[in-house]
Structure 1
Amino acid sequence: MRARALWVVLLCAAAAHAARILAVLPTNTKSHHAMYGRIIEALAKRDHHLTIITHFPMRNPPANVEEISLAGTIPEIVNNLTSQQNSFKPAFVRNLETIMKECVHSCDVVSRTPAVKALINSTRTFDLVIVEVFGTECFLPLGERFQAPVVGLLSSVPLPWVNDQLGNPDGTTYIPSYMVGYGQRMNLWERFTNTFAVILAKFLYKYKSQVPSQVIADRLFGTDTKLDLLAQNYSLVLSNSHFSINEVRPLVPAMVEVGGLHLDNTQKLPAKLKRLLDQSNDGFIYWSFGSMSRIETMPSHKLSQIFSAISGLPQTVLIKMNPANLPGNLTVPENVYTMDWIPQYKTLCHPNIKLFISHGGLLGTQEAVACGVPMLTIPLYADQALNGRAMSDRGVARTLSFDESGADAWREALRDLLNDARYKENALKLRDKFLDRPMPPLETGVYWIEYILRHKGASHLRSPALDLSTTQYLLLDVALLSIAITAMTIYILHKLFRYLCTRCVRWWPKEKVVFEKRFFRRNISLFHCFLWIYKIKTN
């Protein structure tokens, strides 16, 4: 889930073997921190010197890591599942507006931090700027300020406005939009809706994000910086996607897929949890709605129906929640085991896990795929419907609506997923496709970051499409020229043929004309059609 954009700004100083890196993480989204934190740790292990501005300071940072804590400056982001949205706006519009508002707010909070202002006004020099690409661009001027190329980290599939910034094709006929839960094979109405959603998303981004972000950038860097122009100068964007589980799409060289970058094989299971999983005879079902959606805040009647459905299962259901926060009228089934914190990736890869019940967040989806576990997804927000549909299309998941699913729907879906062996078989096949790569995603990400450093911005990766106007990019000028040439050619041929026909008929013998008229009196020939069109009158 993405209730608030996680900004990552990495500034890398020029050095023979190592770079100085500044990481600015001004929002407190734990899932995003898990992903970008892996990049930071990997760069630190490669002897780069890092200064990190973050809500999640390390407990024991290494000697080459310096931290500036933002803890407490922004309240903890928690999505209460009991909240209701009363609006005529479509859900994807509300989601986009909320995300952009929160991203701009995060940017504003960090921009007012004295340490950040001091950095911007300092005399330090840097080689590379890395920013998170998502809901705002207010830190893009750092690249211009330090005369350094910019690399972006994107925690989702490529977004509509990011495609514009890189010159990457939208492909709305077969690539579903971030906020629309369609598959890649859409009917006419879905293609129409998808195209409209992409256009609307770009419009909202311009006026809900770029305009207020420009105000913040002007305050920090002066009025000479234009975010829409700077956004077209990314040297590289690392996208948290992969063609095996997300959409097959064309990518310019400046966009590299690193889906699964956050997967951490060093995770350890707590001894009590490991013993519980090891001793399970019928297996486990794991249920989590991520770090931001608390299951215990679901409406009590909805949660009661779900508890009723899972109480009859032979499997133990491991749920990430705090039962102390449940309403007093709810009774937790005997086969339910709850924990406040669970090492998700290690848990999903345990051989006794039979099913993952998820909200469809991208990071959790990637972990389940990497472990070969079937899924039941209940999309709540943002791209979760898109991820759930992608998994359903690949035969590894079932999807239920949060509003419409009741006890009977849950029972039927759980029975199908647990008893039909095809879901597990498809999950194992998808795991092999997802993990089969030349390099692990974390190594790929670090390689391309250092590639930009080695090649001083690697301007050769930039798409020439960024230098074209909209008219040129959409070939509207070519279409207009083609129409003009075609019209002129038809006009010239029309005049020429009329002239030649008129001149030639004058020399025909009168008897032949009479013969032709008698012969074709009851037959319409192509010749007569031409005579009628050009109204040729013989002598």
Structure 2
Amino acid sequence: YKVPIVSIGTFGFGQYMGPMIGQMNAWSHVPHEFLPFTDRMSFSQRAYNSLVSFYESLLRDWYYMPRQEAMAAKYFSFLPGPLPRVGDLERQVSVILLNSYTPLTTTRARVPGMVPVGGLHIKEPKRLPDDLQTFIDEAKDGVIYFSLGTNLRSADLPPEKLAVILRVFASMKQRVVWKFEDERIASLPANVLVRSWLPQSDILGHPHVKVFITHGGLLGTQEGVHRAVPMVGIPIYCDQHLNMNKATLGGYAVKLYFPNITEDSFRWALEEVLYNPSYKDNVRRVSQIFRDRPVPALEEAIYWIEYVERYKGAPQLRSAGLDLPWVSFALLDVVGVLVMGLALLIVTVRKLLSASVGDKKKVKRKGD
């Protein structure tokens, strides 16, 4: 139907987006979104990052995309006219709204059609439900907020880890608000309140919240930074490690490796973030950068959606690299010609030198 397309990158930037929109992926300093690397990679990390990124590219081209084509042919065959290829549809995307924003993402070159709008889901904090509001308001020593998000469940924690966490919470003078899916948790300390669902962003906006224990998911990390709450990160998989590595390097989080969590390490992490003022100072600084924008994230997203509609797909944003074969896009054809030219030059020079030396030897023998 030739309708303009605006896509959304829910994980922020993904390596697969580069070929979609005509951008070269810089594997030398942009880590794959599911690797626990920062933009300061060692040689071995750069090599591993390149291999993983290249493997994903091959897997996508030779496994994922053919299956997408087959599904499209199966379920959309009723449409009139020839069905466009899924890959061609991808390359018709006008703008990708990226769920990321500096400094929570790796700095990279971007074509105009890639627009960072991370944090657009964050609104001004609202008043909490009465019981929760009272519990936090009356916490004179502050509150620890604990949530493992929606994909991970605190109720599924191994019994030994749950016991460790409960013992540490019981020993703290702070109150704890915990997203725990089974509110009938046994042996719950008096200073701990559990709920199966909690208004996380609003809780983090309360001035009494001192620490955010998180799995390191992207949305939660953005909320913690926006509200300037330092974190204790327990990443499990995917981009959670990358997010928490960024946070620890930024000095506003302590990262724990889940299998190695003990009573001592968990207590140390909480006390380190609670009583070392540098974590709060650093998260305030990062929060200021994250919130410092020409316009709010939601307004930015709305502007670009309307821009694409206004200019009938905004072809002026389209990179000419999308029309090049990948060999030309990566300049491999130019490099190949230069290498062949250099090789030809070297061979020619060697032959000339060899011929010159041979002539000199002949002249010398005749003279003798």
Alignment TM-score > 0.5, same fold: yes
Q: Counterpart of 2:177 in 1: which secondary structure?
A: strand
Structure 2 residue aligned with 1:313:
172
Q: Which amino acid aligns with 1:257?
A: P
Using the TM superposition, name which of 231-240 and 317-326 deviates more: 317-326
Q: Confirm or deny: 8 A CA contact 1:151 1:237 kept in the other structure.
A: yes
The 8 Å contact of residues 369 and 434 in structure 1, kept in 2 or not, is answered as yes
Quickly say closer, same or farther: Cα 1:496–1:271, change in 2 above 3 A. same
Q: 1:500 to 1:380 in 2, by over 3 A?
A: closer
What residue number does 1:247 align with? Answer: 106
Is the CA contact 1:318–1:338 (under 8 Å) kept in the aligned structure 2? yes
Amino acid at match of 2:25: D
How many matched pairs?
362
1:388 maps onto 2:244 in alignment:
yes
Q: Tell me which residue corresponds to 2:254.
A: 398
Residue equivalent to 1:463: 319
Maintained 8 Å contact 2:102/2:289:
no
- Could you tell me which residue of structure 1 aligns to residue 143 of structure 2? 284
Q: Give how far 1:403 is off.
A: 2.0
Q: Are 2:199 and 1:343 aligned? A: yes
Distance 1:204 1:480 in 2: 26
- Is 1:175 aligned to 2:2, yes or no? no
Aligned equivalent of 1:89:
none
Match of 2:270 among 414, 428, 442: 414
1:206-245 to 2 correspondences below 5 Å: 206=61, 209-222=64-77, 224-245=83-104
**Does the 8 A contact of 1:378 with 1:402 survive in 2?**
yes
Distance 2:194 2:334 in 1: 63
Write the letter of the residue equivalent to 1:260: G
> 1:466/1:321 Cα in 2 relative to 1: closer, same or farther (>3 Å)?
same
Secondary structure of the 1:318 match is strand
Q: Give the direction of change, closer, same or farther, for the CA distance of 1:179–1:325 in structure 2 (3 Å limit).
A: farther
Q: Which amino acid aligns with 2:53?
A: V
Alignment partners' CA distance in 2, 1:492 and 1:409: 68
- Whichever residue aligns with residue 378 of structure 1, its letter is I
Aligned partner of residue 258 in structure 2, secondary structure? coil
- Give the 3-state SS of the residue equivalent to 2:212 in structure 1: strand
| Distance (Å, rounded) in 1 between the aligned partners of 2:115 and 2:315 | 15
Pair 1:150 & 2:5 matched = yes
1:218 touches 1:225 (CA, 8 Å); kept in 2?
no
Counterpart position of 1:99 = none
The alignment yields a C-alpha RMSD, in angstroms, of 2.1
Q: CA deviation at 1:497?
A: 5.7
Work out the CA distance in 2 between the residues paired with 1:285 and 1:501.
83
- The C-alpha deviation readout for 1:457-500, integer Å capped at 9, x for no partner, is 11111112222222112222112211222233334444556667
Q: TM-score, normalised by structure 1?
A: 0.64
Greater CA drift, 185-194 or 233-242: 185-194
Task: Read off the aligned partner of 2:110 and give its amino acid letter.
Answer: L
What SS is found at the alignment partner of 2:97?
strand
Which sits farther off after the overlay, 299-308 or 193-202?
Answer: 193-202
Say which SS state the counterpart of residue 160 (structure 1) adopts.
coil
- Residue 217 of structure 2 is aligned with which of 336, 351, 361? 361
Identify unmatched segments of 5+ residues in structure 1: 1-145, 506-533
State whether residues 183 and 196 of structure 2, in contact with CA within 8 Å, keep that contact through their aligned partners in structure 1. Answer: no
Give the superposition deviation at 1:417: 1.1
In the TM superposition, what is the alpha-carbon distance from 1:204 to its structure 2 partner?
3.6
Question: Which of structures 1 and 2 has the larger relative contact order (alpha carbons within 8 angstroms, sep 6+)?
Answer: 2
Amino acid at match of 2:290: F
Are 1:268 and 1:343, in contact at CA under 8 Å, matched by a contact in 2?
no
Once the two structures are overlaid, the 10-residue window that deviates more, 378-387 or 278-287, is 378-387
> 8 Å contact 1:182–1:389 — kept in the other structure?
yes
Residue identity matched to 2:293: R
TM-score when normalising by structure 2: 0.92
What is residue 203 of structure 1 aligned with on the other side? 58
TM-aligned CA deviation for residue 207 of structure 1? 5.4
Question: Following the alignment from structure 1 to structure 2, what is the Cα–Cα distance between the partners of residues 155 and 536?
Answer: 77
1:191 aligns with 2:18: no
Q: Deviations over 1:253-300 (max 9, x none)?
A: 111110101112263321222222222110001001112322112111
Offset from partner CA, 1:129-183 (integer Å, 9 cap, x none): xxxxxxxxxxxxxxxxx22111101111211212221122222221111111111
Residues 183 and 194 of structure 2 are in contact (CA less than 8 Å); yes or no, is this contact kept in structure 1?
Answer: no
The answer to whether structure 1 residue 299 and structure 2 residue 169 are counterparts is no
**Secondary structure of the structure 1 residue equivalent to 2:210:** strand
1:29-65 C-alpha deviation (Å, 9 max, x unpaired): xxxxxxxxxxxxxxxxxxxxxxxxxxxxxxxxxxxxx
- From the superposition, tell whether residues 231 and 496 of structure 1 become closer, same or farther in structure 2 (CA, over 3 Å): same
User: Is this contact kept in 2: 1:238–1:256, CA < 8 A?
Assistant: yes
The CA distance in 2 between the partners of 1:410 and 1:250, in whole Å, is 39
Unaligned runs of at least 5 residues, structure 2: none
